[in-house]
Chain A
Amino acid sequence: DAGITQSPRHKVTETGTPVTLRCHQTENHRYMYWYRQDPGHGLRLIHYSYGVKDTDKGEVSDGYSVSRSKTEDFLLTLESATSSQTSVYFCAISESRETQYFGPGTRLLVL
């Protein structure tokens, strides 16, 4: 997890509230990714970024938005959290795109 931090590491929130998760890197990698991990589904890509202010949707992007105003920070926002968004969220970074380095994860519980 060197060079990648995620905050918060744990969060409990209520349905309908906005939530923002932060990924911070010190590696100056160009590419950043947000995944969610759920039992039986593995890792599913939510959004990714290929540069400052350049982002695109992954396979499970509904209900999520992202922003990247600086190379080192990639924010994931749940505009109005739902119970189906209870999950473990991982940020990943990459310079080559082939190899991704994952952060420690954020456990989110939506009540």
Chain B
Amino acid sequence: QQQVKQSPQSLIVQKGGISIINCAYENTAFDYFPWYQQFPGKGPALLIAIRPDVSEKKEGRFTISFNKSAKQFSLHIMDSQPGDSATYFCASYRGSTLGRLYFGRGTQLTVWP
């Protein structure tokens, strides 16, 4: 069963607009929530991450909003640029003896100039 559900599958935003990608999880044992960015032909790279003890984390134009009670978190890209066009993956981490990441299915973002 899918541990992390991500939406939308694809997103088209005009330059300067706000891009919003949403993720939901079921397992309350998850304790770390990263977002990865992947450009065509490249491997995913860590973009920003949050822990459940805070509701928001901002790094430049990228912000994670976290709602622990709803078991949801989202990525907001402010002032979206054509260079932000990429595939974005949310993930959830469960720390344990053999901790691992569970990835969402990805969102393909296209920012039109």
B interface footprint on A69-111 (CB within 8 Å = 1, 0 otherwise): 0000000000000000000001010000111111111000000
A interface footprint on B21-60 (CB within 8 Å = 1, 0 otherwise): 0000000000010101000011111100100000000000
Q: Are B100 and A48 neighbours in the complex by a CB distance under 8 Å?
A: yes
- Chain A-chain B contacts (Cβ-Cβ < 8 Å), number: 55
Find chain A residues with CB under 8 A from B95 CB: 97-98
Instruction: Please tell me if B20 contacts chain A, counting CB pairs below 8 Å.
Output: no
Query: From B4, which residue of chain A is reached at the shortest CB distance?
Result: A42
The residue that A43 contacts in the complex, of B9, B44, B49, with Cβ under 8 A, is: B44
A105 with B43: in contact, given A56-B98, A97-B93 (CB under 8 Å)? yes
Q: Are B105 and A97 neighbours in the complex by a CB distance under 8 Å?
A: no
Question: On chain A, which size bracket covers the interface?
Answer: 20 to 34
A98-B49, A98-B99 given; 12 more Cβ-contact pairs under 8 Å: A41-B105, A42-B6, A42-B104, A44-B103, A48-B100, A56-B98, A98-B32, A101-B45, A102-B43, A102-B45, A103-B43, A105-B41
Measured CB to CB, the residues of B under 8 A from A are 6, 9, 32, 34, 36, 41-46, 49, 89, 93, 95, 98-101, 103-106
